[in-house]
């Protein structure tokens, strides 16, 4: 599956609290490049997909999204994202 579409689908399927938690953890990631709060605050899953792709490129966006998902204990979603994009660790 196309990596951009996979990230978009994963974000769209998160519950509202998990999506908020995802955005919070994304902003507070310690690794560079970092994402500024104003790039995620009040944004839709489509806009967050674009932030991830523009910041990390398509492959990097999948890896970062999976890391953040694991951080917020959405392990199943992280595994599914890696599996559908062929980036299984």
Does residue 72 have a pLDDT over 90?
yes
> Strand, helix or coil at 74?
coil
Position 10 scores a pLDDT of 98
- In which residue are the tokens 């500024």 written? 36
Q: Which two tokens stand for residue 50?
A: 């674009």
CA distances from 8 to 4, 30, 40 (A): 6, 23, 14
> pLDDT band at residue 89, thresholds of 50, 70 and 90?
low
Q: Which domains, ranges and CATH numbers included, belong to the chain?
A: 3-84 (1.10.533.10)
> pLDDT band at residue 81, thresholds of 50, 70 and 90?
very high
């Amino acid at each position: 599956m196309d990596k951009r579409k996979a990230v978009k689908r994963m974000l769209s399927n998160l519950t509202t609290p998990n999506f908020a938690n995802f955005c919070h953890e994304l902003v507070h990631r310690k690794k560079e490049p970092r994402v500024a709060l104003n790039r995620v605050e009040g944004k839709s899953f489509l806009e967050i997909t674009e932030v991830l792709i523009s910041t990390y490129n398509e492959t990097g966006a999948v890896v970062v999204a999976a890391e953040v998902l694991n951080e917020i204990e959405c392990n199943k979603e992280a595994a599914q994202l890696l599996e559908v994009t062929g980036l299984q660790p």
